[in-house]
Structures are given as C-alpha cells and as structure tokens.
Chain A
Amino acid sequence: MSASSRILLVTPNRLVGIGLKKLLLEYFSPLDVSIVADLGDVPELRSFDVAFLSSDSYVLYRDRFAAISTTPVILTEGAGVSESREVPLTVNVTGTESEIVEQVQRGLSAHRPGRGHSKAEHLSAREVGVLRLVARGYLNKQIADKLSISLHTVISHRKNITRKLGIKTVSGLTIYALLNGLVSSKDVG
C-alpha cells in the first residue's frame, strides 16, 4: 500500500489554511498536509497529489498543472464561481461544514478514483493450502516440507493471509477455516 496522499494548501490566509488542514485530518486521515502562502514558493508541485488554491493563484499558475498529475481544487467564495470545464473541482469556503466536507471529498477522490480498501482480497489457491495446514496444527517448518516450498515462502503466505483476513492467531485462523469449510472439525485437534 502506498504512503498517505500528499496534500498542498495554498493560501495567504493562515486561518483558512489551519482550518482546512484540521478538517482534512479529521475527516480523511491519514494524509500528509502542507500549507504555503504562495504557489511560487513550491518548487516540486508534482510531488503533491492534490493542491487546494484560490482561483487567482490558479489563473496565475495554471500552466504548472499541465504536465503533472497533481489535481488542482479551487477554493471559491460562493457557489458556482468557477464553472469552467477544465476545472470542475471547487470547494465553496462559505458553505456549511457538511458541504465543504463533501466537496473536499470529491477533490480527493478525483485524484485516486476507486483506490482504497474497497478491492476484495481473496486468498490465492496457495494461501488456502497453507491455511488448511495451519488449521490442522502444522508448524511453519512442517508446512514448508509438506508443500515443498521454503520456510520463507510459508511465512510470507501467512503474512498475506493475516493481512487479507484480519486474523492473526492460529486459533482464529482455525475457526475461519472451519467456518468456510476448508477443513472439517475432525481434522482439527
């Protein structure tokens, strides 16, 4: 999984910066948020995933967004100020907290559509094989011998199983295997 998204807030109004940063961290953690007064102070704009900025600075620095994947989100005062096609993403700073949160969310997800935890993670056939043996009480070394794979590989399968299922202990994995018919209760000690 990649590190948390990097967010840039461009505003000379310190209070707006602090407020937006708090809101971002409260609703969308983990995020890495930086605040600057002027986009001219940011040499590496491309290293940010999303940049929030006023329409004035966007007009001034529009070209800098052309060749990079950083998503600009425009802070407007009042709804519907920036209706231009190329930049549909705006946050109306005079809106209610809920409105602002929803608009910010749209800005953040435009950068990474569909990314996150929604992807179903199924166990691979090999992982199921390892899990069956874990449930039947085999130790890692014995599993390696039985499946003719290295101990290292067994350990990495077990890590993946735990990550995918959210189950850490052998007893927990055994219950999972029983519930899903991977082993029968007479196989389990």
Chain B
Amino acid sequence: MKLLTADMKLAEIVHSNYLLIPVLNRFGIRLGFGEKTVRTVCSERRINLEFFLAIVNAFSNEDFFPEARLRTVNVLTIVDYLRTTHAYYIHAQIPRIERLLRSLARSKTRRTKGVVLAQRFFQEYKRELLAHLKREEEVTFPYVEQVYRLHRSRRSRGNKDLLARYSMRAYEEEHDNVDEKLDDLKNILIKYVSSGPDDDTLNTVIFELFRLERDIIDHTRIEDTILRPIVAEMEQAIQRTAR
C-alpha cells in the first residue's frame, strides 16, 4: 500500500483506502473536504500531523508501524484517539452487526440453526467487548491521565497512592485478547452457516466482522506497544523522584 503523506489531498487518501473514512471521522474530519491536503486540514483542526499520518498509515498497512515516532506523541492525544475508537465500536459497529444478525434471525426463510447460534455467540462477545472497553475507560484511561499530570508537575506528593492502586503492569495482565472470539465467529459463519436464499445480509455480516477485527487488532497494537510503554516510563520517572 502506498505511503500516505502530508501533502496528499484527503480525497486521495480515501481513494487509496476507503476504509479510512471512519478513521478520519475519529479525528473530527468529516467528508466534504474538497481539495484540501492533509497538512491543511490538520492545521485547521489542530490535529497533530505526525500522529495523524502514523495512524492512517498503520491502519492501512499491517506491516507499517512507526513505534518510535508514535512514542513521542503526547499521551493525552493517544488516549483521545483510543476513546473515540471505542465510541465507534460501541455506537456504530456493534449495533450494526447486531441489527444484521437480528434481521437474519427474524426472517422465516433465513432463520437457520447456524444464524441463531451465531447471534447468541455475538451477544456473548458483545458483553465481553463492552466490559473490556468499560474497564479501560473507567480505570485505565483516567489513570493514564493522572500519571501524565503528575509526571508533568514533577511533584512527588500523592503519587504513592496513585501508583499503588493501579499500574501498567496490572493493565498488561488484565488486558485480554478481544479478537480471538471474533475470528472464531467469522470462521463459523464462513464455513458452517447457511443463510438460506438471502446471501447478501450474511455476506454483509462477514464483511463487518472482518472490518471490526482489523480495527480492533490495530487498536490493541496501539494500546500494547505505544500507550503501555510510554506510561510505564512515566511511572518509573515518578518513582525515582519519590525516593
């Protein structure tokens, strides 16, 4: 895949990979950007240009992941991006897949045993995924923000409590794999489920599962290889000043 750069037009980026449209939305960029370049839109919207390019390139290309560059990005910017990504799963992707499965299961002609089981399996997955996202939003991300502030203020007071309650080590341990089940569901739908005469709805479910899986793998990669090491380093710096 072609490398996306600052002086390309946003429209060109979408033409190179239309799956990036929702990623642009996460940065607050809406369609209708005319002939504007990435550089222009990023400066208008106060988006960190380097971060934006790293994210869209990594999203489009599994093998491209500029770790060193991403680790220099402000951690609040990263958390912000992760939060809006969660919102996209919660408000757009999960409900859409649910709707499609429900419509398959409701129809008399399309309701097969496989469809019913797949629907049940997806509900189970949804519960797990939502719990995962909630934990990050209620515990991990607020913790990261506190560590960031503490690290910046260079004060040592109050830090013992903060670091004792939670840590990146704890996050590493609890951070479970949320793409395995999705992969299983895809496999089951592809190999063992028939939707009866209506192929298209089932096909759409499968497309959506591939898309969600790809997105989640990318998201988890940012959490594990960017967010965690940056914050762990701050934890260590804070601990050193506390001594």
Contact = CB atoms under 8 A, between A and B. Distances in A.
A180 B184 contact: no
B121 interface: yes
Interface stretch (B101-109, B110-118, B154-162): B110-118
Given A179-B193, A180-B192, A172 B117 contact: no
Contacts of B124: 171
A168 B182 CA distance: 10
Interface residues of B, number: 17
Interface string A163-179: 00111110110011011
A171 B118 CA distance: 10
B187 interface: yes
B117 A169 contact: no
Contacts of B192: 176, 179-180
Contact of A169 (B113, B118, B184, B193): B184
B145 interface: no
Contact of B187 (A172, A178, A180): A172
Nearest to A167: B184
Interface in B87-105: none
B134 to A, nearest CB: 20
B233 interface: no
B113 A171 contact: no
Interface in B108-167: 113-114, 117-118, 121, 124-125
Contacts of B121: 171-172, 175
Contact of A172 (B113, B114, B181): B181
Contacts of B183: 166, 168
A167 B188 contact: yes
Nearest 10 pairs between A and B by C-beta? Answer: A172-B184, A166-B187, A167-B184, A175-B117, A179-B192, A168-B180, A169-B181, A169-B184, A175-B121, A175-B188
